[in-house]
Every structure is written in structure tokens, then in C-alpha cells.
Amino acid sequence: MRFVFEYHPVIGHRFIPFIKARILHESGGYLIRCNNLGFRCNRDIKPRTTSRKRRILIFGDSYTAGEGVCNEARYSDQLESISKDVEIYNFGLPGTGTDQQYLAYKTYAENLQPDLVIISIMVENIRRNFCRYRPFYMENREIRWLAKPYYSLNGENLFLHNQPVPPTPFKLGDLSMEERRYCDQGGRYKVFRDLAKKLALKDRLLRLGLYNPIPEFKSPLDPSWQLMRAILKYWISECTSPVLLNVLPLYHFVEEYARPTDYQARFKEFTKETGVLLHDPLAHLLKYSPRERREFRFPVADAHPTEKCHRALAESMEPVITSILGR
């Protein structure tokens, strides 16, 4: 998908504005269409008019952008089709963490006068916030690295780095051993996950429900959680409209290979601390049979949500959105 993105000095990258493309995929391929600001959205983003429709902005990563499905199949678009009198703008951007999504809001959406801002947090984003470099695939499939914007935390204060974002790809060997710690290669616990795979323990641990794919949520004092918490607090404080945190689980939790208690505990603590609204769709997804839930991701290599999963997510969100906007 590299050819559909372009460099952005603040966010790091975005879709090429107005691009229309067919993306090769194990599903047989899918169509994307991007708007005037470089996001996968079927309508251009303009200042608020006198329209009676409620305006909703959704931010997230590739789960929200809809990797693997066409625009109309995503939960944002399906939510709009089953909700009354709403217009939803999808600001999902693949390969980003909460930090870059916050910058997308500040760059493009601060003055759009929404009735609701939805921050869709795919739980693995907690690792991306901690990273300073992300992988970039060349035409010959060789991996290069690109710098990304990132925040550091000093007490309760956030400091933004890599502005403007350096545009030139480089090799991993160009970085010091210390800086390689900040490459997006699976987070600070990657060595333990790799060991589990090497010893053929991962499948056994998954079946026993003992595999923790996101240990960064285990402690409220974990540096990665503290950074995500701070970014979210800053973001929420700058919104003049209601904010809904929509926590998207990995397939490990949907298929009950892992326990969600750690990340659920952190977000419940956060909502109690800040008063922000929280939606956890996992309970709704677990109402489906194990066979149906296995169809929530693609069968070969892509673990992104299928159209069926997007539909289930939209159905879980619709009553929550109606309740918020009906206040």
C-alpha cells in the first residue's frame, strides 16, 4: 500500500488527497477513495454548515481506516448507515499510534465543530506511541526505516519531537543500539514473544489463555501506559465536544486466547479519573459463536477486521452514539 501514502511534516504520513486505488489483498482486493485532506472518507471535509445532521469525527489506525475492506464496509460507514441524521468523518490512518492520531486532530479537525469525537484505540497502539521509527518497505520489499513524530513525558508534561518529521528513509544499521530500542518492531517485550514462538510455546499458551499479547497494560505505572494516558488527557482537554474512547481489541481477545482484564482495568481507571465516555465492544463481539468470531479476521495472514467484524462493531456502537447525541 506504500504508493497511496505521502510524506507529511507534522503527522509523518497521510493518504494522497483525492486518490482512488484498488489494493491487492488476500480477500481479492479492495477499493479505497480519499478526500481533500488525505483520509479515507467518501466526502470532503469542510467547515460546518447549517445541516441538521450531527457531525462525528473518528480517529484511529488501520482498524479504523479499514485495511482489507472498501470504504463502505468499515464500521464508521456502516454506523452512519444504521444511525439517524449523522455524518461521520473517518480520520483513520494506518501505521499510527495515539500520538500521530492526536496530531491529525490538531492539524485538521480542531475547528470542525463536531458533535462528537471518537478516539478508536486499537490496544496495540500503546507500543507505537513509545516508538520513534517505523518500518518502510521499498519497491524491492527491502525494509527501510522512517522517523515519526513522538512525545516524551516529563512529569505530567508532554514534549513533541521530530518536528518537522525527517523525510528520508534509512537503514537500521544507521541507528545506534540505543536508538534501535525505539524502532517499531513489536515493543519492549518482543524478546519474550519471540522466545515463546521459538520454543513453540505460543500456541499452547494461547489455548490455555495464558499468553498476554500486550503486557504494557499490566501495571498503571508502565511507561508506555503513562505516555498513552498523558496523550489522551491532553487530547480530551482540547475537545469542546463530547469524547468517546472506543477500545478495539486484538483477535486474541475476541477469540478468547488472551484475557482482556489488564487493558480493561487501565481504561476503566482512566475514565474514572477523567470522566470521559468509554465504549468497550468486546462484550458484544463475544456474543457471537466461536466460528463466527473466527470470521472476524481474514483467514490467511491479515488479522485486520473483516466486513463482518466491522458490522458487529457498528452494531455495538450505534446505541452508545444514539444515547450520547440524544442528551
Query: pLDDT per position in the chain (327 positions), as tens?
Result: 558 999 999 999 999 999 999 999 999 999 999 999 999 999 999 888 777 899 999 999 999 999 999 999 999 999 999 998 999 999 999 999 999 999 999 999 989 999 999 999 999 999 999 999 998 877 777 889 999 999 999 999 999 999 999 999 999 999 999 999 999 876 444 544 454 455 555 556 555 555 788 999 999 999 999 999 999 999 999 999 999 999 999 999 999 988 999 999 999 999 999 999 999 999 999 999 999 999 999 999 999 999 999 999 999 999 999 999 985
Say yes or no: domain 18-131+211-325 is CATH 3.40.50.1110. yes
Q: Is the peptide bond before 135 cis (omega within 30 degrees of 0)?
A: no
What does the CA dihedral 305, 307, 308, 310 come to, rounded to 10 degrees? 60
The pLDDT, as a whole number, for residue 209 is 54
> Strand 20-23 to strand 243-248: parallel, antiparallel, or no bridges (unpaired)?
unpaired
The pLDDT, as a whole number, for residue 290 is 95
The pLDDT, as a whole number, for residue 3 is 84
Secondary structure, 3-state, 175-223:
CCHHHHCCECCCCCCHHHHHHHHHCCCHHHHHHCCCCCCCHHHCCCCCH
Q: Cβ distance 305 to 297 under 8 Å? A: yes
* Residue 276 to residue 166: CA distance in whole angstroms: 34
DSSP codes of every residue in 231-290: HHHHHHHH-SS-EEEEEEPPHHHHTTSS--HHHHHHHHHHHHHH--EEE-THHHHTTS-H
Q: What distances in angstroms separate CA 24 from CA 1, 21, 28, 96, 285, one per listed residue?
A: 8, 10, 7, 21, 28
